[in-house]
A and B are shown apart, each in its own frame.
Chain A
């Protein structure tokens, strides 16, 4: 009886050791979890003014094949002081990061934001086209 108990306890201990020695889930340079997901796209886009109210005149058109975001904004919108908001596929992140007030006033040279997949292996640049 005692023999079986010893064996069971030994297996249990080995299991605990194995589990505790399992390598931690990997994180990227931003401290974000690197997952197995390969999805890499923008699902929604919003553009807010300095008063944090939308400046869009219509819903943004996102083309995940052409990798473009086309937004029409209200006449008179001050594009030097806007806050873009991206909704991405699960576990994705954006490069460059949007850290606050953004200058999107250069309409001739649209800004490019790259979506990086959850596994950090796929990168898709999206061109943000704004027009009045």
Chain B
């Protein structure tokens, strides 16, 4: 009898719980936008490198009955380098997948940290791209952005983005090198010199580019001036060029920035920090197109990644350098 009295309420409770659990949740239509609204996405992926742009898409809209867009502005926590701008064109993608611009005002003006566009057309929705060229002052720092839209009804919408860590890396792309001519590479200057210029920058020359058709495994090579003479056949080094730089060959590491936006791989600060260069040689022979070389300078001041963009059997090549200061 006692058991029966307990079992019945428990059964009812379970049934009620089941019914509640199975209640269908009705979909409710979200409230339509009733005032000025904005949104933002960061379009750039990969590490943020000084001199390269960060790209954002800033969208703003308000109901037509409320008025129109008046202006849009972006304030960066660190003033952008030359080339920073907010698009004065709003893009839409047509049926062919092509981004089509619609001009909405005059080109942006940038004063210190603030970049502004004033609308000259009657529109209540727009998406503007913002390109922030990372300045030298931001190296190793964090940068954040405040996007603001103003409408004719006196309303303001604000969207904060960041902070974004700015890499310590430096980049130089598409440096032509040639056997016996522009063959002397300086990591410190991230530049290529000929013999005469190398003599005046002797303390900065880390590598020599050379090409030898034989042996067939030699071909395109980056050799440290301090390497064994066997790896510098027929090379007369300018006076004082004698640094011994450690090198480590890599294949299949096509950094997106170094390869002119061809691949989806990124070399980042952490790669340089964790790089093991112990016992590495001071020469790299048989370099191929799209191969690379990790570099550590004699004074251990810099580590770098040299990417071979292209090679030519006549003894020339194009290289790009990513450098990290230790």
Contacts and interface: CB of A to CB of B under 8 A. Distances in A.
Interface of A: 49-53, 57, 74-76, 78, 80-81, 103
A81 B280 contact: yes
B291 interface: yes
A51 B217 contact: no
A74 B217 contact: yes
B286 interface: yes
A53 B251 contact: yes
Interface of B: 215, 217-218, 230-231, 248-252, 279-281, 283, 285-286, 291
Contacts of A53: 249, 251
A76 B280 contact: no
B243 to A, nearest CB: 19
Contact of B281 (A74, A75, A78, A103): A78
Contacts of A57: 217
B281 A81 contact: yes
Given A50-B249, A51-B251, A75 B279 contact: no
Given A51-B250, A80-B279, A75 B217 contact: yes
Nearest to A55: B217
A58 B230 CA distance: 22
Contacts of B250: 50-51
A51 B281 contact: no
Of the listed residues A50, A76, A80, A103, the one surrounded by the most CB atoms of chain B closer than 10 A to its CB is: A76
B252 to A, nearest CB: 8
Nearest to A76: B285
B244 to A, nearest CB: 14
Given A51-B250, A76-B217, 11 more contacts: A50-B250, A50-B280, A51-B249, A53-B251, A76-B286, A78-B280, A78-B281, A80-B281, A81-B248, A81-B280, A103-B279
30 contacts: A49-B249, A50-B248, A50-B249, A50-B250, A50-B280, A51-B249, A51-B250, A51-B251, A51-B291, A52-B251, A53-B249, A53-B251, A57-B217, A74-B215, A74-B286, A75-B215, A75-B218, A75-B285, A76-B217, A76-B218, A76-B230, A76-B231, A76-B283, A76-B286, A78-B280, A80-B279, A80-B281, A81-B279, A81-B281, A103-B279
